[in-house]
Amino acid sequence: MAAVWRRSSFSVKFAGVLLITGLVISAVPLWLSQNSTNSQSLDRAADKAGVAANLIQQQRASLAGFTTGVARQVAELTPPATYVALEEPLKQDASVNQTGDVVGVILPDGGVVAYGADGLVAQSDPLLLHLTDGVSAGRSMVADDSGQPWLLAYSPVAGSGAVAFTGRQMTTTFITAIDRNIATTADPADLIVVRNGRIAVQTTFVGAAANQGSGVAPSIHQAVSSGAPQLATLNQTSVALAAQPLSDGFSVAVATPVSAVTAAVTPLLVLVALILLAMLIIVAVVQSELQRPLRRLDRAVAALGRSDFDAPLPLGRDDELGRLAETFDAMRTQLRATIRASASRAAVATELSSSQPLETTLSRVVNELRSAVHADSALILVTRSEMSDSFAIVEGVGPVDVDSCLAGDGPLGVGYRQDGGGALLASSTPSSREAQLGMRELCVSPLRIGAHVHGVLAVANHSRAFLPSDVELVGSLAEQVALALERYRFLAMVQRQASTDDLTGLYNHRFLVDYLGQQVALAERLNAPLAVLMLDIDFFKKLNDTHGHQAGDAALAAFAQTLLHSVRTSDLAARYGGEEFAVVMYNTGSSEARLVAEKIRKAVSQTIIELPDHSRLAVTVSIGGAAFPEDTSSARELLALADEALYRAKGGGRDRTCMVSDDNHRGRAA
DSSP line for 179-232: HHHH--SSS--EEEEEETTEE-S-EEETTEEE-TTPBPPHHHHHHHHH-S-EEE
Q: In this structure, are residues 463 and 435 in contact, taking their beta carbons and an 8 Å threshold? A: no
Write down how long the chain is. 670
Cis peptide preceding 529, ω within 30 of 0: no
Please measure the distance between the N-terminal and C-terminal CA atoms of the chain and give it in whole angstroms. 137
Residue 412 and residue 459: Cα distance in Å, rounded?
Answer: 10
Task: Choose the catalytic residue: 579, 592, 610, 630.
Answer: 579
DSSP line for 136-151: HHT-SEEE-TT--EEE
Q: In this structure, are residues 134 and 155 in contact, taking their beta carbons and an 8 Å threshold? A: no
Q: What is the DSSP letter of 157?
A: P
Residue 621 and residue 606: Cα distance in Å, rounded?
Answer: 11
What's the CA angle centered on 445, arms 444 and 449, to 5 degrees? 160
Q: Is 10 exposed, middle or buried (0-12, 13-18, 19+ CB in 10 A)?
A: exposed
Q: Is 289 exposed, middle or buried (0-12, 13-18, 19+ CB in 10 A)?
A: exposed
Residue 407 and residue 425: Cα distance in Å, rounded?
Answer: 18
Phi, psi of 318 (to 5 degrees): -100, 60
Residue 266 and residue 477: Cα distance in Å, rounded?
Answer: 46
Give the closest residue to 162 by CA, choosing from 170, 172, 154.
154
Cα dihedral angle (533, 534, 539, 541), rounded to 10 degrees? 150
What's the CA angle centered on 419, arms 415 and 421, to 5 degrees? 75
Instruction: Please give, one letter per residue, the 3-state secondary structure of 611-630.
Output: CCCCCEEECCEEEEEEEECC
Strands 621-628 and 657-659: parallel
Cis peptide preceding 312, ω within 30 of 0: no
Cα dihedral angle (302, 303, 304, 310), rounded to 10 degrees? -150
Residue 631 and residue 588: Cα distance in Å, rounded?
Answer: 13
Active site residue 579: yes
Q: What is the DSSP letter of 314?
A: -
Strand order from edge to edge, sheet including 530-537: 572-577, 580-586, 530-537, 621-628, 657-659
Residue 504 and residue 554: Cα distance in Å, rounded?
Answer: 9
- So which residues are the catalytic ones? 579
